[in-house]
Amino acid sequence: MKIGYIFPGQGTQTVGMGKDIYDKYEEAKNIYLKVDKALGESVEDITYNLSQEELNQTKNTQIAIYTMSLSILEILNNAGIKPVASAGLSLGEYTALTCANAISVEEGAKIVRTRGRLMQELAPEGNWAMAAIIGMEDDKVEEVCSKVEKGFVKAVNYNCPGQVVVSGEKEAVLRAMEIAKEMGARKAIELKTSGPFHTEKLQEASKELRKELEKISFNECKISVIKNLDGKPYAVEDDMVDILANHVINPVKFRKSIETMLEMGVDTFVEVGPGKTLSGFVKKVCKEKGAEANIFNIENVETLENTLQNLK
């Protein structure tokens, strides 16, 4: 069995996520305490006590998902589960790098908190949105964006066969959703996000993030981590600061990341964190490739204990 971990990004957050795991597992609680100490604030308060609207703010979403995912990861580590590779969707790449010991929990928490704040506060003025276009191939979604007569919209997340996320000005995104349906898309769904993420509109946030990333001590990855930028594993000579600074202004190649993990021989995928969106992406990639894989997602005590039972 070759295990690969996949870590979710924004859009999967719900108030109270992971609370049953926090209450039952001491090692999960310890991760929250470690992050709280590093930040000088309570991530439990952010995750469990804010309204859904407040939690959906990027500055809160990112640290809440990162910490929840790490709390589950700590339980998996203590159970002796050993992955050969990890990948994450956008924010999830930081969790994947922490999983591989490329960054410490504390430094990861600080940079994720800062990243969320910068992406929210340094987004240019405007009404921004993101939407998933479902049932349409990548090049067709790019064509849809080119057909939008007015405003800014781009394809930004290449998630899996038949699903691409577009990002931009709200009116342009809504128009892209209409055009996509006219051109044969099965569905177009607006997402729970609040900025023009993974586009050049976040150039200012990227510049400021680079300054913060330069303060971090990065280590060599202990397991393979697949990059969002190109869907390839980090190499020893890679400049992590440059890659992660560019990460917020470039599309996410998650489909390619899953294909790379399959090529590496990963036959068991474990989605670690809220939701099971990424598990769905893996299923679609496997179907297209004619590959078979075991797929688990862990977001509560029930799914955690089921996965542990199957992986031990």
Cα 84 to Cα 6, 66, 81, 216, 224: the distances in Å are 12, 20, 10, 25, 7
Which of the following is catalytic: 71, 86, 90, 167?
90
Which of the following is catalytic: 86, 167, 194, 198?
198
In single-letter form, the type of residue at position 144 comes to V
Whether 90 is catalytic:
yes
Enumerate residues 6+ apart whose C-beta is below 8 A from 219: 101, 102, 103
Instruction: Show the CA angle centred on residue 229, arms to residues 119 and 166, nearest 5°.
Output: 60
First-to-last C-alpha distance (Å) of the chain? 11
Enumerate residues 6+ apart whose C-beta is below 8 A from 288: 161
Cα separation, 247 vs 144, whole angstroms: 24
Cα separation, 288 vs 225, whole angstroms: 23
DSSP states of 228-256: TTTSSB--TT--HHHHHHHHTTS-B-HHH
Contact 283, 310 (CB under 8 A): no
Active site residues: 90, 198
